[in-house]
Chains A and B, each alone.
Chain A
Amino acid sequence: MSERPGPAIALPPTVHASFLVAATDLGMWSAARLFCRELSAEGGAPLVEALRDELGRDFPVLDGVAAAFGGGELQAPRAELLADALAGIDRLVVTGLEADALDALAAWLSLDVELAVLTGASALEPDWRAALTNYARPITRLPLGELQRWAGRRSALLTFLYGRDHAHAYVDSAWMRVHAPDVRVQFRALVGWNLLSQPLELYPRWLSQTALEDFSHVVGP
């Protein structure tokens, strides 16, 4: 059997640091999509495969995205999938950052619904001030300690899932700091928005495992 051909262009030594910067301020999934797009344009599929080999173990979400990208899948996130889960709410708190998904959500969500992002809870904490300058609608930065102020029977809590099986999903560690038995009754809906079409194949570094039954709604693949 012949060896897989290597890329004509080599990955730079800065690629690990660059991905960490992008993952911090865009989210793991959004950064992975950006890297796959850009490296594919620069060096084609072999360069994306090289990226997966180089960084996949350190960043399993990147591995998952690159695997799907190799299969020709890189679809835009569909916020309309959340319609049932978020019906009737007037406040939504998002934990974790995924720029591509938050862009879609902010554009789709009615302006009557107040939107907040939970700060100070993620393993990779972004520069929220800079991140939120990208949105035309107001988005509140909500410190972890003030979450209860946004609780209520017309409030919902949403986080992103990075692959799931029949019983479990992987989430940003911010979710583990938020989720507790009392939180379930304080919010109308606890929503998991799955972004990966396949379960993670590698050790879920940076992520936490949680039970699907934590959520009132799970949407996405």
Chain B
Amino acid sequence: MTSAQVLLSAILLGGLLLQAIVPGRRLVIVSSAAALACLVATLRGVSDTAKILAEVPWDVLVILVALGVVSEVLAQARAFDWLAVKVSDLSRGDARRLYLVLAVTMYVTSGLVNNLTALLLVLPMVLVLLRLMAPDRRYVRWTLGLLLVACNLGGAATPIGDFPAILMLSGGRLTFGRYLQFALPATAIAIVVLLGVVRFAVRPAEAVPRDPVTLRLTRAIVTALHRGLVVERSLAVPALGSLGLMLAAWSLLPARLGVSPALVCWLGGGLTLLMARRRGETIARAATQGEALLFLLSLFVMVGAVRSAGLFESVARALLAIPASPQVQLTLFLVLAGLLTGVFSAGPGMAALLDVADVLAKRLPPHAVYVGLALAVCAGSSLFLTAATSGPLAQALTEAADLRDAQGKKLRFGFREFVPVGLVSFAVIEGVALVYAWIFAR
């Protein structure tokens, strides 16, 4: 390794580790590390700030902002509140149904809209249900844990569900339809297997009280809490219409037109805001997500600096030099991707690993590599509570909800509580990723 490679990779890894250890200083750490990476790359003569910034995949940021706009409009239209009520209705206040209904709902929702927005608005209702059920620690752990993992799987199911998939779509590595064709069935199998394991092997709802009075009161309270909820159709219908148009354009527009996925998203986001009329401006400001954008920009800058030093090429060459078949090389890569994502979280993991995947995709069917990578990254982001952005958010909301069991003992949902859910989820999703890769990489 050259000295530039050593220095720049130390800045990248150091910055990512530090932000995982001190999440309260996340933005300061990654933006400072990005500036330092630019300085080192310039002084070592491997690149300069202008070149590194020019390589930032701005289209990914455009897609994230535009999809954020659609999610925000749906949130303001109370569509997610409606969704929370539907989850409650379908579960009928029954602990045995709640976690299954919730996981399936969030899996579907996260494939289409920003899962953080959905989680932020659905989770309070889930926490109310949990408070009414007076569950035990085990039930809380598995219900909230599965909710987060279902969000991750939903995000990986479609090319617009979450950042890693968007990165592939924007880079032209896979078309919208091609990604959907392979990732959707694979993630659907993963969620079914995971729910099957939890339902029949873990059985978290066994000890939760289930008497007719509790069920009746739970249903009545939830109904009363949302007695007047009306979805604002004037906001929701145009937003869903825009999303439908975007999906159609991504699926049907021929590539020769040159209308990129980011442009489709930009136009769709603009249309959504225009149709929101006077509220469009407020929604645009709320949906900008400055924090997420600064984090991703810093990340892309650090990864770009490391790339300019040729490190990813070296790693890819080392991987290809392993005396094994391409399938085995891919297997090793996917296992490594899952574990690295568990430590560094999905965004950094994907941004750094995609360059290596590009090399593997020249020797193997691209979808086997890219969808396999998306699944492995999804497995990694489900390994620890801190590996996905939604984890700390769920932890904070749960803490504020002051959940208690039937004896009045406080119930927590933190890093330690999530570990069993994370291990089972990682095993299932990584297993699906490896089977998928083996089937399609032959």
**A-B complex is real:** yes
- Give chain A's interface residues, CB within 8 Å of chain B: 9-15, 17-18, 21-22, 25-26, 30-31, 34-35, 37-39, 41-43, 47, 99, 103, 127, 130-131, 133-136
How distant is B184 from chain A, measured CB to nearest CB, in Å?
32
Q: Quote the shortest CB–CB distance from B227 to chain A (angstroms).
A: 6
**Given A17-B131, A135-B228, are A127 and B124 also a contact pair (CB < 8 Å)?**
yes
B294 interface residue, CB < 8 Å from A? no
Q: Is the interface of B mostly helix, strand, loop or mixed?
A: helix
The residues of A that contact B211 with a CB separation of less than 8 Å are 12
Q: Is the CB of B134 within 8 A of A103?
A: no
B93 CB to nearest chain A CB (Å): 11
B81 and A133 contacting across the interface, CB-CB below 8 Å: yes
- A21 cross-chain contacts in B, Cβ below 8 A: 128, 131-132, 221
Minimal Cβ-Cβ distance residue in B for A134: B228
Binary A-proximity of B208-237 (CB < 8 A = 1, otherwise 0): 010111101110110011111110000000
B224 near A130 with CB under 8 A, answer no
Q: How far is the CA of A21 from the CA of B127 in the complex (A)?
A: 10
Taking CB atoms, residues of chain B closer than 8 Å to A25 are 128, 225
Is there contact, CB below 8 Å, between B133 and A14? yes
Closest to B219 in A: A38
The 8 Å CB contact of A18, one of B125, B221, B225, B228, is B221
Known contacts A22-B221, A99-B224; A12/B214 CB under 8 A: yes
Residue B404, interface by CB 8 Å: yes
Add 20 more A-B contacts to A14-B209, A130-B124 (CB < 8 A): A11-B213, A12-B211, A12-B217, A14-B132, A17-B132, A17-B404, A18-B134, A18-B217, A18-B221, A26-B224, A26-B225, A37-B220, A38-B220, A39-B217, A43-B213, A47-B213, A127-B124, A130-B225, A134-B229, A136-B230
**Chain B residues, CB < 8 A from A10:** 213
Establish whether residues A42 and B212, one from each chain, have CB atoms under 8 Å apart when the complex forms.
Answer: yes
How far apart sit A38 and B226, CA to CA, in the bound complex (Å)?
A: 17
Question: How far in angstroms is the closest Cβ of chain A from B213?
Answer: 5
Shortest distance between the CB of B205 and any CB in chain A (Å)? 14
Does B406 count as interface, using CB distance less than 8 angstroms?
yes
**Could you tell me if A18 and B81 are in contact, using CB atoms closer than 8 angstroms?**
no
Leading 3 A-B pairs by shortest Cβ distance: A134-B228, A14-B134, A12-B214
B141 at the interface (CB under 8 A from A): no
Bound state CA distance, A160 and B199, in angstroms? 47
Q: Inside 8 A of B131's CB, which chain A residues have their CB? A: 17-18, 21
A12 to chain B: which residues have CB within 8 Å? 209, 211, 213-214, 217
In contact, B133 and A9 (Cβ under 8 angstroms): no
Which residues from B are CB-within-8-Å of A38?
216-217, 220
Q: In the complex the two chains form, what is the Cα distance from A30 to B221 in whole Å?
A: 11
- Could you write out 10 A-B pairs with CB less than 8 Å apart? A13-B134, A14-B133, A17-B404, A26-B221, A37-B220, A43-B213, A99-B227, A103-B227, A103-B228, A130-B81
Chain B residues whose C-beta falls within 8 Å of the C-beta of A17 in the assembled complex: 131-132, 134, 404, 406, 408
User: Residue among A15, A22, A133 with the most chain B CB within 10 A?
Assistant: A133
